[in-house]
Amino acid sequence: MKKLIILTIISSFLLLPFTSCKKSKESKIIGTWKEEPLNNVDSATVTNYWTFDSGTKLTVDVRRIDTSYTVTATYNITSKNIGLSGYLVIIEDLMIGNVDYSGKWKIYKLKNDKMQLHRESFINGDREGAFLWKDFTKE
């Protein structure tokens, strides 16, 4: 009986970190993130701010030299079928200009005020031509 109690306590402590990880990732992504430009030309002409709300709404404020506009989409975070340390942000219906950013984005890095997302496939699962890489700094 003593062994069963000790085993239960040890198991609880070992499993506790795994049960809280998803909520941690979900809470860390909430807020406004400034998309870092890929080159100096982009930094002078376009700035995008991605805002993940606490539900499933994603808002992107696009600020260009000559115009600004806002687009909205939906997102969902999942850890299913991605491996032990992987999380996906599934973004649907995100069009910025004439570019479709919808797809399955892997959270490659999410630490302090830095986030890196990699789009690994389109919503339908196709990978060909899907890869994108975005770096963000939390506002």
106, 87 Cβ separation under 8 angstroms: yes
pLDDT in tens, 2-54: 665 555 566 555 555 555 454 467 788 999 999 998 776 555 688 999 999 99
Give the pairing type, strands 103-111 and 88-92: antiparallel
The predicted pLDDT at position 20 comes to 47
Which residues touch 91 (CB under 8 Å, ≥6 apart)?
A: 58, 73, 74, 75, 101, 102, 103, 105
What is the pLDDT confidence band of residue 78, given thresholds at 50, 70 and 90? confident
pLDDT at 138 over 60: yes
120, 105 Cβ separation under 8 angstroms: yes
Question: What CATH number was assigned to the domain covering residues 21-138?
Answer: 2.40.128.370
Q: What single string gives the DSSP state of each residue in 82-122?
A: S-SS--EEEEES-EETTEE--EEEEEEEEETTEEEEEEEE-
Beta bridge partners of 72: 59
> Over pLDDT 90: what percentage of the chain?
56
Q: What is the domain partition of the chain in residue ranges? A: 21-138
